[in-house]
Structure 1
C-alpha cells in the first residue's frame, strides 16, 4: 500500500527530505511551494528533476533526477493534495526579526491552509526550528480550529527538528540521530515509521516540549562555540601584531 507524504516548503530542509522519502519503496511525495516571485520558479525546476541549489550537494542531483523520472515526486502550489496525505511535513522558514523575536507568519499561514484538507488519521510533523511551546500553543490550536478535528483522536502532531548543513544536506539527514517529539505514543510510532526509512542512526523518542528545547539548546551551543572561536581568532590576531612589532623593534 502506498504511503502518501506532503512536504510543505521547498528549501534546504524540505527538498532533501522530500527526495529521500520519495526514493523509498511504496512512498509517494508531493512538495508544496508558494508560486511567489522570489521562489515560485522552484516548482518547475524540481518537476524537471533539477536541483535548485547553488553549490555542490553530494547525492542530491542524482536523487532528484531519479525520483522525478520514476514518478515518485512532484511539486505544486495546491493544498488540495493534502486530502490524500498520510503524513504532512512542515519545513517553512521561522526567522527572527530585528528584536530577535521569532517570526511565525509562514508557520501560521501553512497551518491554517493545510488544516481544512487533513484526512482523519494524518500525522503532521514540524521540522522547522521553533521556540519551546510553539507546537502546542500556536500550531495545535490552528490545526484543531481550522480542521474541526482533535489531536490524538483525529490526527497526530509531532515536532522533529532538522539537522541540516548546506553542502551536506543528505548526509545530515541520514547519518545523524533524529529526535522525535510527539503528543502521544501513536504519534511517535507513526513518526518512527516514517523516519526509520531514511535515517540510519538512532531515533530518540521524547515529548514535544523536550524536542523543542533540545533544538534550541543545540543551536545555542553551536552559536556559543562559533562566537568563542571568533574571539580566540581576534586574540591570536592581536598577539601576532604584538609579535610583529617586537620583531621590527629588534
Structure 2
C-alpha cells in the first residue's frame, strides 16, 4: 500500500518522527535495513533502548504504520526523511556510512517533486556536499529543480512530559526557498511552529549550537562541583539560589558525565571539522575534556568516602544505581555508568547494579550482577552510588537503608547522602 511518508532509519530519532506523523494522520512507512529491528517493530516491540514504549509502537501499528526492509516502497512516497544514525570513526571524523546507505536506497527510486529531508546529526555542509550528489547521481534528477531537499535537526526529547513533537518548533533549511517551503509545509502538519533557516548549513549548525550549549554549560557546572567540594561549599544550594535570578542565568546541574545520542558526538565532529579548517573550537574541546573527566572524579570521591569510613576500595561492595543516560528510560547510549564501573573494578571493588529499566548489564564484556532486592542490596553494600535518578527510586528510604550513599545527581534530600 502506498504511503505519503517514508522514514529511513528507525532508531533514536526516526521512530519518534514516524510516530508524530502517524498521530497527525499521515500514511507512514518505516524503512530500515536491519531485519531484526523491522521484525520487532512490526511485532509491537521497539528497538532495545528505544525512545518509544511497546504500547506506543503497538498504537502506531494499529493506525496503519508498518516497517520494512524492502527499498521498493520508497518509490511511492511524496516525502522521505533520512534519520540514519551517525557515529565517530577511529580518526574522530563523523561516520556517514548509514546516511550513504539510506541515500543509495532512496536515490534509485526517487521520483520528481519528492521532498527529501535529512535529520541525521551531521557536520555543516553535509546536506549539500554529501547527500545532494548521492541523490542526484543515483536518480538522474537535480535537487532544487526536480526534487526538494532540506535539512531539519532532530529535537526530540525522549521521556519528556513537557515537550513532545507537536509543541517543539521545527527548524527547516532548504536548498532553495521552494525547498524550504515544501519541507515547512510538511512539518507544519506535525509541529505547531516551523522556523525557517536561511539554508541547510544554518539548520545543520543550529543543531551543533544547541548541543554544544548544553555541553559547555554542563562542563562549567561540573568544574564548579569539583571546586565547591574542595573549598567546602554546597554547590547544590548555590544553584538553588542562582536560579532565582530572572535574567541572564539558566540552571544546569553536575553529574557523573554526559551521555546521549548527540552530546557525546557533536562536540567531537564540530571540533574535528574546525581543526580541518585550520583552527580549533577551544571551548568545545575543553568542555568535552572536562565532562570526560567526571567518571574518574566520581570514582575518586567514592574511594575517598570509603576511606573516610575505614574501608578500602579494594574488596569493597559497591552498588551502582541507574545505568542509563537519562532518567526513566532504558537507553544506555553514552551513559557514564559504564566508565565509572570500569574504573571501580580497576580499583578492586566488587560491583553490583540496580536499574528498573535494565535487566542485564555488562562492563568490559563481563556481566555485572543485578540486585533483585534494592533495599537489601543497599543495606549490604559498603557504598551505594546513585548515577541516574529514576523516579522509582525513593532516595529518602534508600538513604535510611544504605550504609553509605553517594548521590552524583543531587536528587537526595539535604543531609540524606553525600553529594557530588
Question: In structure 2, how many angstroms separate the alpha carbons of the residues matched to 1:106 and 1:67?
Answer: 25
| Residues 67-110 of structure 1 deviation map (CA, whole Å, 9 limit, x = unaligned) | 31132x10011111111010110111111234432111111121
Q: TM-score by structure 1 length?
A: 0.85
Question: In structure 2, how many angstroms separate the alpha carbons of the residues matched to 1:84 and 1:169?
Answer: 35
Task: Verify the 8 A CA contact 2:153 2:206 in the aligned structure 1.
Answer: no
Considering fraction of residues, name the structure with more helix: 1
Question: In structure 1, how many angstroms separate the alpha carbons of the residues matched to 2:207 and 2:171?
Answer: 9
Question: In structure 1, how many angstroms separate the alpha carbons of the residues matched to 2:54 and 2:84?
Answer: 22
Question: In structure 2, how many angstroms separate the alpha carbons of the residues matched to 1:166 and 1:209?
Answer: 26
Q: Residue 236 of structure 1: CA displacement?
A: 1.8
Could you tell me which residue of structure 2 aligns to residue 162 of structure 1?
A: 154
Task: Verify the 8 A CA contact 2:80 2:116 in the aligned structure 1.
Answer: yes
Could you tell me which residue of structure 2 aligns to residue 247 of structure 1?
A: none
Q: Residue 3 of structure 1: CA displacement?
A: 5.9
Q: Would you say 1:173 and 2:165 are equivalent positions?
A: yes
When the two chains are superposed, the root-mean-square deviation of aligned CA atoms in Å is: 2.3
Could you tell me which residue of structure 2 aligns to residue 82 of structure 1?
A: 74
Question: In structure 2, how many angstroms separate the alpha carbons of the residues matched to 1:118 and 1:209?
Answer: 23
Question: In structure 1, how many angstroms separate the alpha carbons of the residues matched to 2:110 and 2:205?
Answer: 27
Quickly say closer, same or farther: Cα 1:176–1:23, change in 2 above 3 A.
closer
Q: Would you say 1:205 and 2:204 are equivalent positions?
A: no
Q: Would you say 1:45 and 2:40 are equivalent positions?
A: yes
Q: Would you say 1:229 and 2:205 are equivalent positions?
A: no
Task: Name structure 1 gaps, 5 residues minimum.
Answer: 242-250
| Residues 22-71 of structure 1 deviation map (CA, whole Å, 9 limit, x = unaligned) | 2223x211111122xxxx322122112333354885xx544432231132
Could you tell me which residue of structure 2 aligns to residue 30 of structure 1?
A: 29
Task: Verify the 8 A CA contact 1:158 1:188 in the aligned structure 2.
Answer: yes
Task: Verify the 8 A CA contact 2:107 2:138 in the aligned structure 1.
Answer: yes
Quickly say closer, same or farther: Cα 1:55–1:170, change in 2 above 3 A.
farther
Question: In structure 2, how many angstroms separate the alpha carbons of the residues matched to 1:235 and 1:145?
Answer: 55
Structure showing greater radius of gyration is 2
| Residues 146-198 of structure 1 deviation map (CA, whole Å, 9 limit, x = unaligned) | 11001122111010010123323993432221110011222222212221122
For residue 134 of structure 2, give the secondary structure of its aligned residue in structure 1.
helix
Task: Verify the 8 A CA contact 2:12 2:51 in the aligned structure 1.
Answer: no
Question: In structure 2, how many angstroms separate the alpha carbons of the residues matched to 1:224 and 1:9?
Answer: 29
Bigger relative CO (Cα 8 Å, ≥ 6 apart): 1
Task: Verify the 8 A CA contact 1:23 1:63 in the aligned structure 2.
Answer: no
Q: TM-score by structure 2 length?
A: 0.52
Task: Verify the 8 A CA contact 1:49 1:69 in the aligned structure 2.
Answer: no
Question: In structure 2, how many angstroms separate the alpha carbons of the residues matched to 1:197 and 1:62?
Answer: 23
User: Number of residues paired by the alignment?
Assistant: 232
Could you tell me which residue of structure 1 aligns to residue 186 of structure 2?
A: 194
Q: Would you say 1:69 and 2:62 are equivalent positions?
A: yes
